[in-house]
């Protein structure tokens, strides 16, 4: 890899995205390019881990180390990577299904461990890649190919869940506001700890109308404009309750005094336990009962 690390084009790979024309994920990809350029770290120091889904294809379109893993398991893989290699900048991405259905069991644990990861979910309220099934964020009553008479279940609330899990940075953006989304991702990347960004990224093929971007732009309700600066977690939770009804963008919560990350704690323990610089070859010595 070559090119300036603060040029978004540096992060663009030769693989041509195969998303449908008009898919929101194109905009998310642009925002990622720009946010990475704003951070300015070289491509080889960045890893981008995803699950499976239309959205999860995103790492392949970048020039950083990418890992398009299996459905729903991006977070555990990212945690192992980051714990063992704390110097890397690690992004995680996926869809609403990937993150909150099959992968939903991993989210609280990644958050409560407070790994220094930035997790972006392209929430389109549908299973795109498998062609239009009910997703965990599909509104109740909606018809899809697996809910032909309307769904029975209340949708998941990614924002409220992540706040309840204790995430230090919780935000929502949309590719309809590209500068706003870029700023949120950049801030997430800079936040020292687990950062969650929910992105209302329309699926124009199975979910939303072709006009979705325009509609979103009209419906945008920036939190800052509503007087919410993200410092009050309870207020963030209250606002998050409107998920699915109001298109709030911005930061729901940002911990003003971020606690140490998992990776920091690991390094401290390594330093502490390893101060006598033990030799791996002597790890068996303790088994001797007679010398």
Partner 1 sequence: MINDICIGMAGSGGDGIVAAGEALLNSAAAAGYHGMLTKSFGPQIRGGESSCRLRISTQPVLNPGSELDVAVALNWDDFLKFGSELPTDARSIVIYEESAKTPDGKLPLKIAPGEAIAVPIAAIARAHGGDRAKNTVVLGLLSAWFGLAPESILAGMRKRLKKKGPEVIAAAEQAFQAGADHARANPLKTARLMAPPAARQGVWLADGNDLTAAAAIVAGCDFFGGYPITPSTEIMQTLSRDIWAYGGSLLQCEDEIAGIGACVGASFGGKRAMTATSGPGMSLKTEMLGLATIAELPLVVVNVQRGGPATGLPTKLEQADLFQACYSGHGDAVRPVLAPTSVADAFRVTVDAFNIAEEFQTPVIVLSDQEISQRKETLEPIDTSTVQLVERRRPTPEDLAGGYKRFKLTPDGISPISHPGLAGGEYLAAGIEHNESGAPASGGANHQRMTEKRIGKFAPLLKRRELFLVEGDADADLGIISWGSSAGICREAVQTVRQEGLKVRILVPYLLYPVAEEIFSDFLKGLTKGLVVEQSYQGQLYRILRSFITVPNGVRPYCRAGANPFRPSEIVAQIRALAQRSVP
Ligand X SMILES: Cc1ncc(C[n+]2csc(CCOP(=O)(O)OP(=O)(O)O)c2C)c(N)n1
> Where does this chain bind a copy of itself (CB under 8 A)?
100-106, 108-109, 112-114, 136, 149, 152-157, 160-161, 163-166, 234, 237-238, 262, 265-266, 269, 273
- Tracing tokens 């687990």 back to the chain, one arrives at 194
Distance between CA 42 and CA 47 in Å, rounded? 11
What SS3 class is residue 97?
Answer: helix
- Region 164-203 residues binding partner 1, contact defined as CB under 8 A: none
- Region 56-115 residues binding partner 1, contact defined as CB under 8 A: 59-60, 63-73, 75-85, 87-88, 101-102, 104-106, 108-109, 113
- Tokens coding 278: 């033990």
Q: From the list ligand SF4, a copy of itself, Mg ion, none, pick the one residue 96 interacts with, judged by a Cβ distance below 5 to 8 Å according to partner type.
A: Mg ion
Distance between CA 128 and CA 10 in Å, rounded? 28
Q: Is 6 in the site for partner 1 (CB under 8 A)?
A: no
Distance between CA 283 and CA 119 in Å, rounded? 38
Q: From the list ligand X, partner 1, a copy of itself, none, pick the one residue 163 interacts with, judged by a Cβ distance below 5 to 8 Å according to partner type.
A: a copy of itself
Residue 257 beta carbon to a copy of itself: minimum distance, rounded to whole angstroms: 15
Distance between CA 182 and CA 190 in Å, rounded? 12
Distance between CA 232 and CA 39 in Å, rounded? 27
Q: Is 95 in the site for ligand X (CB under 6 A)?
A: yes
Distance between CA 109 and CA 97 in Å, rounded? 18
- Site size with Mg ion, rule: CB under 5 A: 3
Distance between CA 253 and CA 231 in Å, rounded? 6
Residue 145 beta carbon to ligand SF4: minimum distance, rounded to whole angstroms: 12
- Region 140-199 residues binding ligand X, contact defined as CB under 6 A: none
- Tracing tokens 């279940």 back to the chain, one arrives at 153
Give the interface with Mg ion as residue ranges (CB under 5 A). 95-96, 124
Give the interface with ligand X as residue ranges (CB under 6 A). 52-55, 71, 94-98, 122, 124, 126-130, 135, 203
């Amino acid at each position: 890899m070559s090119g300036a690390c603060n040029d978004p084009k540096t992060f663009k790979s030769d693989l041509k995205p195969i998303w449908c024309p008009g898919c929101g994920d194109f905009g998310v990809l642009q925002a990622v390019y720009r946010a990475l350029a704003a951070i300015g770290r070289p491509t080889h120091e960045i890893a981008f881990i995803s699950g499976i889904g239309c959205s999860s294809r995103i790492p392949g379109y970048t020039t950083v180390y990418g890992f398009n893993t299996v459905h729903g398991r991006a977070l555990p893989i990212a945690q192992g990577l980051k714990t063992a290699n704390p110097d890397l900048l690690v992004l995680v991405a996926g869809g609403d299904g990937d993150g909150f259905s099959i992968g939903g069991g991993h989210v609280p644990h990644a958050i409560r461990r407070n790994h220094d990861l930035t997790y972006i979910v392209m929430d389109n309220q549908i299973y795109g890649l498998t062609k239009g099934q009910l997703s965990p964020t599909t509104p109740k009553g909606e018809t899809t190919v697996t809910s032909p008479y309307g769904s029975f279940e209340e949708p998941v609330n990614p924002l409220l869940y992540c706040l309840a899990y204790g995430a230090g940075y919780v935000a929502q953006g949309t590719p309809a506001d590209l500068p706003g989304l870029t700023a949120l991702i950049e801030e997430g990347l800079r936040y020292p700890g687990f950062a969650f960004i929910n992105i209302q990224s329309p699926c124009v093929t199975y979910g939303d109308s072709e006009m979705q971007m325009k509609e979103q732009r009209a419906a945008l309700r920036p939190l800052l404009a509503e007087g919410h600066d993200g410092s009050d977690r309870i207020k963030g939770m209250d606002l998050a309750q409107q998920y699915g009804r109001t298109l709030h963008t911005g930061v729901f919560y940002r911990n003003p005094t971020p606690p140490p990350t998992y990776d920091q704690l690991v390094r401290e323990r390594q330093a502490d336990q390893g101060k006598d610089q033990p030799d791996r070859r002597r790890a068996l010595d303790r088994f001797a009962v007679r010398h």
